[in-house]
Amino acid sequence: MKSFDLEKYEKLNIQKNIEKAMWEWRLSIKESDEFFKVEKNTFIHLSYQDFVNNPIKKISEIFDFLEIKYEKSFIYQISNKIKSKDSHNDIMNNEKLKKIGGTILKKTINNTYSPF
């Protein structure tokens, strides 16, 4: 009788969950793109990479878009601790996830994706 390897099972299950999450992410991007094409002037496009790489500029753009008055000192204060905490290496080293994510994933990671 074969013994049950819980660690191997958990790793396999985690991988399946990651793949499922990638499919759900890709479908949600597709649906949001359709919405944003119709409602083009009612939102701004904000990428995670742009936000963590230049939080002062992006927070200012958000406030301007929402027509909220602000002091530059306030923007500096709230953006002080914004930093990227993870990398995309795990995804880009996984061929199956790259295939599921397709062009949208590659553009997202390279910060060249836009719904327009």
| pLDDT tens per residue across span 73-109 | 999 999 988 887 665 556 667 777 777 777 777 777 7
Tell me how many helices (H) and strands (E) the chain has.
6, 0
For residues 45 and 14, what is the distance between their CA atoms, to the nearest angstrom? Answer: 31
Quote the tokens at residue 49. Answer: 């990479």
Q: Note whether 94 and 77 are within 8 A (CB).
A: no
pTM: 0.56
For residues 100 and 86, what is the distance between their CA atoms, to the nearest angstrom? Answer: 21
Quote the tokens at residue 16. Answer: 């399946």
Using only the alpha carbons of the chain, give its radius of gyration.
19
